[in-house]
Amino acid sequence: MPVLRCFLPLLPTYAEGRALMAASSILSCSFPETDIAVLTINDPDKGANVLSPPVLEELAAQLDQLEARDDLAGLVICSGKPGNYIAGADLRQFVAWIDAPAEQITEFCRLGQQLFQRLAASRFVTVAAIDGVCLGGGAELALWCDRRILTSNSKTQYGFPEVKVGLYPGWGGTARTPRIVGLSNAVEMITSGESISPADAYAMGLATDVVEPEALEAAAIGLIRSEHQSGAYLKDRERWAAPIEISDTELGFLGATASSFIQGKTKGNYPSPLVALEIMLGCAGTDVQAACEAEAEQFPQVFGSPVNRSLLNVFFLQDRNKKDTGVAQDEVAVAPIKSVSVIGAGVMGQGIAAANVRRKIPATITDTSREALAAGVSKVLDEVSYNREIKGPDVKKAVEMAPAVNGSTSLEEVAASDLVIEAVVERLEVKQQVYAGLEPLMRPDAILASNTSTIPITTLAEGLARPEQFVGIHFFNPVRKMPLVEIIRGQQTSDATIASAVAYAKAIGKTPVVVGDGPGFLVNRLLLPYMNESLELVCEGASIREVEQAAKAFGMPMGPITLFDVVGIDVALFAGAVMHEAFPERIVASRLLQAMHAEGRLGQKSGAGFFSYQGTKKGRGKPDPETDRIIETCRTATGSFTAESLQMRMFLPMLLEATRVIEAGLVRDPRDVDLGLIFGIGFPPFKGGLLAWADTLGAEQVVAALEPFQEVGPRYQPTQMLLDMAQQGGKFYD
């Protein structure tokens, strides 16, 4: 099929892909039986198989050869990488089309559809033998096969994550899925972007069988023989090419409920799930070919959109982070962390210990209070044994996990671990007292870390015998939900310690960002100006409701006033004091926060903060007249604000502080700022990150936006970095 040869010409920067294919083939074809072909995908240059233009070209060539034969009973498509089938399309290559004309993007979708449709129209039975991750374009390739067999491997999963980068399946996924598993199942899979397990795939009819990995090829061959005898695959080909059998009433109900659910989840900020829903509902009454055409024609609506570009940026931030060792040197000895001790059995200590146990790393936890220790160990076991189905701890799982949790009051036992993380109260003298008793008992090669969120690592390291093996490992609360971990380098922290801490954070499923030492480190240093400004706005006349709505309309997961109550007003007051002491010219000591603290209103934990939590469910606050009374005592003006002016007042100080962090060299790359804020405070991914958002405005426009606020104070004074960018037309992202 010569039309498939258009894949590479559409990407001239990858024209050399043909030469690479000749030198190293990614697809290999074998014949375990004379009439059975097994096509194996195994990219020798990548850890995971992906569908790049060269791979698609090679697939077309392989099908050309197989279709020329008239003696084949079946084709099995499998992977040569255990635990990985196809992880989707190669986004680094396909992103080269992002500025292509709409008609070219549509044609690209049609080409992919035409290639995969050959699997459903061949003279032989086609079976996708799936072991491991099968996502995106890989899931669509498997979808166009007559049958799919999945293994029981714990790594095996099947899904369409395209909405997570602002897209939807564009190679027949929205057309073929609802005809195989039903419209309701397809809507849930495609619009949520979540993967399903082999058991779920089998239950909904997506998988014909689930087998052990070692039995996969034999099961696929057996299935081909069975299908030839029954002819069932031919009937399914006809059924899956036809319109979907669903009444108008059912279709209307599904559309209304799904649309409402998606709107509630996305708040209208992520358009691709709704576009995919409209395509699937609108094409339910058409044949699969018409559905494919609608899918292709609508694809330019999402591909290259601002949200798609932003989410792709987030994807590449994560991809870069996975490969980043945390240090500039190529080869640094990384100490393997096989055991961890946590000092402090409070909320943070419990969360850190649970994060380790969940990843099969034994954790010892200790506390000066035996009662707190016993409660901490119990909470750790409850967390690691939580079962979503029963919505509570699973006794059997708790018994299995129990040996990995060790509650101890023996300092020698605590000191025996590869890594010891201190998570005690935020007081310098208390932490240094812990280190003084602990460090002499630790092995010479062990690492000591602090979970501090405010105290400089260099200050904490004073008096240590091995400051080069001391590092900040700052988890965010709640640990089980927050992916970010700040790895903080003190003045004497070694590269080996940093690299080991980064590797450890990744091993427990976290996203580490290496930052330099200083007040607030990275995330809190940028977060506090935003939160602080929200209180100043309230004192200047904005209502709490207006401030909250403006922040959430921008895309923040919660308003800044609510965040004060969640963090704790006492904690925020202490952190603000640290920042005010370090940067008094631009960090205002909030009178309102001090007044709330003086009244004993500490937030959710005390039942009242800026909101009242008495008699509310799940920590949901309600307006409190007492808060209004306190605000009046701190009122400095009675101004009125638009939603846009509120947003600029809150987010511009955050942006300016980010430029200061970059100027000071506290991050190794500006991209770390965006990664840290997205995964540390929930900065809206659909904006791509704080700096990516600033780039959409342009530095010149940002400087202009700051001008009306100059009278507010020095915190709105543009930095030299920003002024230079505005003058030169520079961007944070090259």
The CA–CA distances, whole Å, from 409 to 355, 357, 367 equal 21, 19, 7
Q: Quick one: which H or E segment has residue 412?
A: helix 411-415
Helix (H, G, I), strand (E, B) or coil at 449: strand
Burial of 388 (0-12, 13-18, 19+ CB in 10 A): exposed
228, 474, 580, 597: which one is catalytic? 474
- Phi, psi (rounded to 5 degrees) for 30: -130, 170
DSSP string, 191-258: HH---B-HHHHHHTTS-SEEE-GGGHHHHHHHHHHHHHHH-HHHHHHHHHHSPP---HHHHHHHHHHH
**8 A C-beta contact, residue 383 and residue 330:** no
**Paired strand residues for 211:** 151
Contacts of 641 (CB under 8 A, 6+ apart): 537, 541, 542, 546, 649
Most distant CA pair in the chain, distance: 88
Tokens of 364: 């010892």
- Phi, psi (rounded to 5 degrees) for 603: 110, -155
**8 A C-beta contact, residue 314 and residue 267:** no
474 tagged catalytic: yes
In 13-167, which residue ranges form alpha helices assigned H by DSSP? 17-23, 53-67, 91-94, 102-117, 137-143
DSSP state of 608: B
The CA–CA distances, whole Å, from 494 to 460, 473, 507 equal 15, 14, 20
Crossing angle of helices 690-697/699-706, nearest 10°? Answer: 90
Q: How far is C-alpha 400 from the geometric centre of its chain's CA atoms?
A: 29
Q: How far is C-alpha 201 from the geometric centre of its chain's CA atoms?
A: 24
Rounded to whole angstroms, the Cα distance separating 324 from 302 reads 30
517 closest CA partner among 503, 531, 496, 498: 498
**Amino acid at the residue 187:** V
**8 A C-beta contact, residue 406 and residue 363:** yes
Rounded to whole angstroms, the Cα distance separating 513 from 505 reads 10
524 closest CA partner among 569, 476, 491, 568: 476
- Catalytic residues, by residue number, are 474
